[in-house]
Structure 1
Amino acid sequence: MATAKKYFDQARGPAASLYFVVPLLLLYMFGVFVLSDTSSNNLTEIWPHLVSTNLGVGTWLILPVVTVAGLLVWSRRSKARWNVPAYVVVGMWAECVAMAAVWIAIAHGSFVEIPDVTGGATESAIASAAPNTLRQWKIGVGVEELLIVVQEAISDDVLFRLLMFPLFALTLRWLGQSRTVSVFGAVFASTAVAVALNHFGWHVGASSSFDWLGCAIHTALLGVLFAYRGFGVTVGTHVIYLMWAGLVLRIRLVLSVRPKIKELVFQLYSRPLHPELFAVHDSRTVSRGGYEATIQITSAGHVVQWRYKGLTLTEVATSAHHPLPQKRRLMSYRLSGERKDAIKCAGGASYQMNFQLEPADPEVFWTFQEELCSNEQKGMLHRFDSSGRMALGALSYINVETRSRCLIVQAFHTFPDDYAIVKSQSMFEVP
């Protein structure tokens, strides 16, 4: 009992936290060198870049220095001892895994993520429902995505937990509030700032679906964890949660036939998405006027990744069951009816899109498919396998137009089982 109490007391202290986060800080610095730019587009993640620019030092150095300095100040104020047994650091990793498992259970309603990824269906159930479908179950783990996860988690935790949280808590204590009120007041204040900073800087004037409630719950849980378990356990839990939920358990179903039209969504991210997430049937990369873009036809639709001066916008038309992250998602719409939207990003770049779902008579539908086939030499075309209900499979056709200041992507996806056509046009424009 005494050993357990000693562990819990030491694990939440600054010394144990420093020993614990050193490997993560080294991984962070390695990630900055490897990735050069994490394509952050909100103030939560871009603040190390802003500080490094103003001070004239490398981005790789700012966050580790701030982290170590913050923990040293904390240690001096609390008069913490620096002789931390090895079992404490090992126990902190075990505690982080347990905390992350609980967090995933809260977030997904189950300790197993497979039902969320496959829509609740088991592999055998899917096989019996679609016997002619080619399937590939795999775990999408990538080094680049891992480095991005570490950078996002550490920059977020240093800003809101190590810096802002103590500032709010000490201010409330100075105002005469009790310790409990100060702690939960700091949780509330840091959460409010996190929601504002996550939203601010992504876009201006966009009618997008920023998940402020999810961001608030996410930040509040981390704030409570920091208050009672310290910085090290908080960072470790955050990193493991993102790895587990977003990478290691990214068990997915890749179909060679078109999914049902009611399952499709149209999304936009201010970040790159790992290529392991998609079954790519055709790909093209274009570069002009300072921007570069990769356009891909995937099993469920398409992916367009557009890059300009450190900014990355990724447009995805895919199945709603596809396990894509919510982090830095700017838009998310069901593919039904007609929709238009636009955003203006920090730095002056802009994005516009419109899509429409058009039902068609069988004769009109097949005529349209033939017309798409005749344009194969002008654009990107992929023919999908038949689902078994129709003799012919679906088509995806993408026309790419590059101009000096903008990229225009027109996509057409057909759905023979529903006699429906999805048409979309997107424009990525530089300042």
Structure 2
Amino acid sequence: MAGTLIRPPVKTLRFVVYHRVLHPELFAIVANRQVMGPGYTLGIRLIPSGHSLSWRLEDACLEEVLGETHMELPETGRLIHKNVEGERTCCFDLTPLWRYHCCVQREQLPPEQFVHLHEELVAEGISRGLLFHYQPRHRLSLAPLSLIRSQPVRRGLSLSCFHTFPEEWTIVKTQSLLEWKRDEPPGRVCC
């Protein structure tokens, strides 16, 4: 299992969104959490390469995966399939009631800036969010980390995900928003 916790290179990442929920057995889950809100349930899973977010709504499902290109993921229900390069955004109506927005950004920083940002993420992750430290490739290296913060917004839920790659001085950030398109909140989802 220790080998699966080492962070893969950034060039092997892809961002995939499905119009369905994928089975958790497809992933090597290192940390997870569930969030419930009006009209939705969200499963947050950290995996060695990034994350898997499973949204369950009253009338639809959505899965967002930041994973490696060699992961065996199904093609059925796939809406977005992109390599992680630069910055990419998307927005679409999931149902007549729900809209999904996402932004994926890959940024390489100078070493000093990277270390400073890494330390800020560690401090923030200790007080809020889902934080996981991976094994560094070398004993004295910075440990890669993943941090996911969820924040309720007026008509939905916003998620900020940060994944660091110290050997490449790179951070991959995703921002996802599931937004209720009407002024009144939907009914509550029960599991």
TM-score between the two structures when normalised by the length of structure 2: 0.89
Residue aligning to 2:185: none
CA distance in 1 between partners of 2:171 and 2:154 (Å): 30
| 1:180-223 per-position Cα deviation (integer Å, ceiling 9, x unaligned) | xxxxxxxxxxxxxxxxxxxxxxxxxxxxxxxxxxxxxxxxxxxx
CA–CA distance in 2 between the matches of 1:390 and 1:343?
44
Counterpart pick for 1:386 among 136, 143, 150? 136
In the alignment, is residue 134 of structure 1 matched against residue 5 of structure 2? no
Q: Distance in 2 between matches of 1:390 and 1:338?
A: 31
Partners of 1:419 and 1:281 lie apart in 2 by 23
**Amino acid in the other structure paired with 2:41:** E
Does structure 2 conserve the Cα–Cα contact (< 8 Å) formed by 1:384 and 1:394? yes
Alpha-carbon distance between aligned partners in 2 of 1:407 and 1:267, rounded to the nearest angstrom: 19
| Matched residue type, 1:287 | M
Q: Which portions of structure 1, spanning 4 or more consecutive aligned residues, are displaced by more than 4 angstroms?
A: none
Deviation of 1:402 (Å): 1.9
- Deviation of the 1:403 alpha carbon: 3.4
1:197-254, CA deviations, whole angstroms, 9 ceiling, x for partnerless residues? xxxxxxxxxxxxxxxxxxxxxxxxxxxxxxxxxxxxxxxxxxxxxxxxxxxxxxxxxx
**Greater RCO between the two (CA within 8 Å, min separation 6)?**
2
User: Is residue 331 of structure 1 aligned with residue 93 of structure 2?
Assistant: no
Asked if 1:353 is matched to 2:105, the reply is no
Contact 2:85-2:105 at 8 Å conserved across structures: yes
The structure with the greater share of residues assigned to helix is 1
Q: Is the 8 A contact 1:401 1:407 kept in 2?
A: yes
Which residue number in structure 1 is paired with residue 177 of structure 2? 427
Q: Distance in 2 between matches of 1:374 and 1:294?
A: 24
Q: Does 1:413 align with 2:167?
A: no
Root-mean-square deviation (Å): 1.5
Bigger proportion of residues as strand: 2
Q: Secondary structure at the match of 2:127?
A: coil
Letter in 1 for 2:50: G
Say whether residues 1:257 and 2:125 are aligned partners. Answer: no
Give unpaired runs (5+ residues) of structure 1. Answer: 1-132, 136-254
1:344-400 CA-partner distances (Å, limit 9, x unpaired): 123331100011111111111111111111112111110000112862220111110
Which entry has the higher C-alpha Rg, 1 or 2?
A: 1
SS of 1:423's equivalent in the other structure is strand
**AA paired with 2:64?**
E
1:76-118 deviation line (CA, Å, top 9, x unaligned): xxxxxxxxxxxxxxxxxxxxxxxxxxxxxxxxxxxxxxxxxxx
Letter of the 1:403 partner, please give it: V
Aligned residues between the structures: 180
Which runs of 5 or more residues in structure 2 are unaligned?
182-191
Superposed CA deviations along residues 1-57 of structure 1, whole A, max 9, x for unmatched, are xxxxxxxxxxxxxxxxxxxxxxxxxxxxxxxxxxxxxxxxxxxxxxxxxxxxxxxxx
Contact between 1:289 and 1:405, CA under 8 Å: does it hold in 2? Answer: no
Where does 1:13-412 land on structure 2 (aligned, <5 Å)? Answer: 134-135=2-3, 255-375=4-124, 376-388=126-138, 391-403=141-153, 405-412=155-162
